[in-house]
Chains A and B, each alone.
Chain A
Amino acid sequence: MPLLEVRNLTISLDPGHLDAPLVSGVDLTLHRGGTLGIVGESGSGKSLTCRSVLGILPPELYTGPETSIRFDRVELTELDTAGWLPYRADRIGAVFQDPGSYLDPSVPVGRQLAEVLRVRGGLRKREARDRAVELFTEVGLREPGRVAGQYPFELSGGMLQRVLIAIAICRDPDLLIADEATTALDVTVQAEVLDLLADLRERHGLALVLVSHDLAVVAQVCEEVVVMRSGRIVERGTAEQVLRAPQHEYTRSLVEAHARFGIEHVREAHRV
């Protein structure tokens, strides 16, 4: 039984679904502890797909009548806001591109994590504070006790993303969605955060959805990959298949861009 099963996801600005949909006929399957990469450029529908799984589509958008999103055997599309909350808050964690914008600039980051642990986890104030420092340690923040007392503006982009990851995993979710979570980071920091996601997955048996415009980023972490273009899935397969034998013209252009301008090309030339 898959952990997440999305069937015929269609998203449109029109409640009657007569106009051109923004996302159309997307099917996704993810098993417990599995990894799924979604590749696509801006406007491809990859973020809307994630948002619909989290139940946070913008209010002017509608999912189609045929759309089914099953998470651990529960049909999420039938839930109301209150019914969705335990899934979004506890069982599905998410991190996005700009971690700073999800934090309150006037509250130390440790207190923001402790707040979630108190409200959602029922921990007492003291316990929540200690647990927050433990979680900061787990996500690889050096001097976690000191970081907990710092405000968002005092932390680098990589540190902020680790704070957000700590918040996303603090309720021990089954699924973590990382939507362009490493895009704004320096390359070496991106690699650290990708390593962290891989570590967390191994330690907690987390299932992971990793969304990126960069096929190579996704292929590094994920076993299964789907490529989206203009709201549709144009290619799917194992990372190996998609990289070695891309079928769709768009996927081929992504692979060729790496081969021509990436370091693969230079490395090959140097070896010869």
Chain B
Amino acid sequence: MSDLVEVRDLAVSLGRGRARREILHGVDLTVRPGEIVGLIGETGSGKTTLARSLLGLNRIDRGTVSVTGTDVGGLRGGALRAFRRAGSVQYVFQDPLQSLDPDLPLGRSVGEALEVRGSSQIADRVAEALARVGLDPALAARRPAEVSGGQRQRAAIARAMITEPRLLICDEPVSALDASSRTAVLELLLRLRDPHRGTAAGEAGRVGGHRTGQLFISHDLGSVAGVTDRIAVLYHGRIVEAGATAQIIGDPTHPYTRLLVGSAPTLDGAGLDRAARAVLRAQLV
């Protein structure tokens, strides 16, 4: 069985004319079913460009992008729309209002994809989707402004999961949330990955007989390391290091990764002292 995401030697340029610049310079990335892969990088490193490429939203200069077995790099027009309408790839944004209509009750937004397809028993499936993300189904009647930020983000995840996607792309899903909501959303993403962990709620991740893979995009390695199985570090448009999370955190080799791991505030203090960070910064200039 092929991997959910297979990106090989991907190069993408953005902008027109003289402003055109290559953003990704030959990137490799793999996401397998049932795993959470962290894509870590700073502002401007190319994380979002890479994510958009997985949705077929960028013309590619070089390389291949295969998502759920489809060569999305080559899709155009109607074929691209059909791929996106199939709903096998879903996107969760930092700001849930990018996917939830502020004027619609949450239930309508969550069930929209089913409505478009003319599915039956929409209300039941919406209630089930809300329960799956730990929301009271009664919240279906509320508008986004009438619930907390954490509840909004969970509703956005319910909307994404209702199409039973094979790949869920989460772009900074907890960066705007307070500590308590952040923990709840991270726990939810873990449950969606691993249907065997926990009890009834653990069944949440088993959708349509396949295991959803997740690409977790974040600038903040320190706060998401606990949910990822593997990490790819993107720096200036290149993957400078990739591997098992424990390997990257415990034994980073590239100077940027070492600086990143050594800069993350932890309860034991940052991993590196000021002088050590200064040395790494000098190597990167």
Q: Which residues of A contact B (CB under 8 A)?
A: 41-42, 156-157, 186-192, 194-195, 198, 213-217, 219-220, 243, 253-267, 269-271
Contacts and interface: CB of A to CB of B under 8 A. Distances in A.
A263 B221 contact: yes
Interface residues of B, number: 39
11 contacts: A187-B260, A188-B260, A189-B42, A190-B263, A191-B263, A219-B265, A266-B245, A266-B246, A266-B250, A270-B250, A271-B250
Interface stretch (B4-12, B92-100, B117-125, B267-275): B267-275
Interface of B: 42-43, 178-180, 182-183, 186, 219-227, 245-247, 249-251, 259-271, 274, 277, 281
A41 B179 contact: yes
Contacts of A157: 43
Contacts of B281: 188, 192
Given A186-B43, A191-B270, A263-B222, A257 B250 contact: no
A260 B226 contact: yes
B180 A261 contact: no
Given A157-B43, A187-B220, A216-B267, A261 B246 contact: no
Nearest to B177: A41
Contacts of B219: 186-187
A243 B269 CA distance: 11
A261 B267 contact: no
A191 B261 CA distance: 11
Contact of A264 (B182, B245, B266): B266
B161 to A, nearest CB: 21
A220 B183 contact: no
A188 B186 contact: no
Nearest to B183: A257
A254 B264 CA distance: 16
Contacts of A256: 183
A138 to B, nearest CB: 16
B186 A261 contact: yes
Contact of B178 (A213, A259, A260): A213
B41 to A, nearest CB: 9
Given A186-B43, A263-B221, A266-B225, A258 B266 contact: yes
